[in-house]
Amino acid sequence: MPKVKIPRKSTTIDMTALCDVAFLLLSFFILATKQKPPEVLTVKTPTSVSSTAAPDKSILITMTKEGKVFLMLGDETRKNAIIDDFNTTRGLQLTGAELTKLKKAEYIGLPVNKLKSALNLEQEIPASAMDGIPTDSTNNELSYWIKSITNAYKGEDQRKLQEMILIKGDGEALYPIFKNVKEALKANELFKFRIVTEGETVPPGSELDKTGKVEKK
């Protein structure tokens, strides 16, 4: 009896539902992803093989290649107390509105004698137009800010505060500026800090590569 051949038919798959799901997932990730904002202060830091993570709440001191120094108060729970203390100890006599505006600022980069006038401007002064916090030996205003920071953390373990202090310097920044920053910390009995660097891989064949003793956290 001859075999009956069943004709082959091409199968078709409806991809509409799959495309809908893929589109919904793509839309979700686009909306849910938080884009990293551009850095207000652009500095090119030196590189290192250290992979130690910076603390979430930090006191960041930034040095640009032009020699300007900026301060960023990353601990929002203490930022208000630091600024209030600085306003009192330096006798700035800032109004409530001026204090509110200063507390909302992302960074501080002006001398004391220019703070009040800058806070009354309608538009915020860009970082490129700021003078930076004076750190020279005759007028190291950064030490006043550090003093207010230590006052805000008074009564707590100073080792914790020292771990929060980060110095981020441009690779072309001159050493005297870095020295003045260290003097501001030293004047407030803060002798330890961390330096922010750009990560790089361990050179093959080096001692670190052989031992694997790269600082991690």
Residue ranges of domains in the chain: 47-199
The three-state secondary structure class of 70 is strand
Residue for token pair 């009956």: 4
From the number of C-beta atoms within 10 Å of its C-beta (0-12, 13-18, 19+), residue 101 rates as: middle
Tell which residue, 122, 163, 147, 141, has the closest CA to residue 70. Answer: 141
User: Tens digit of pLDDT for each residue in 121-171?
Assistant: 988 888 888 999 999 989 999 999 999 999 999 888 778 888 889 999 998
Look at the pTM and tell me if it is higher than 0.85.
no
Give the bridge partners for 59, in sequence order.
Answer: 73, 165
User: Tens digit of pLDDT for each residue in 192-202?
Assistant: 888 888 766 66
- Quote the CA–CA distance of 195 and 182 in Å, as a whole number: 12
CB distance 173 to 14 below 8 Å: no
What are the Cα distances from residue 8, in Å, to 1, 19, 20, 24, 82? 21, 28, 30, 36, 80
pLDDT for position 32: 64
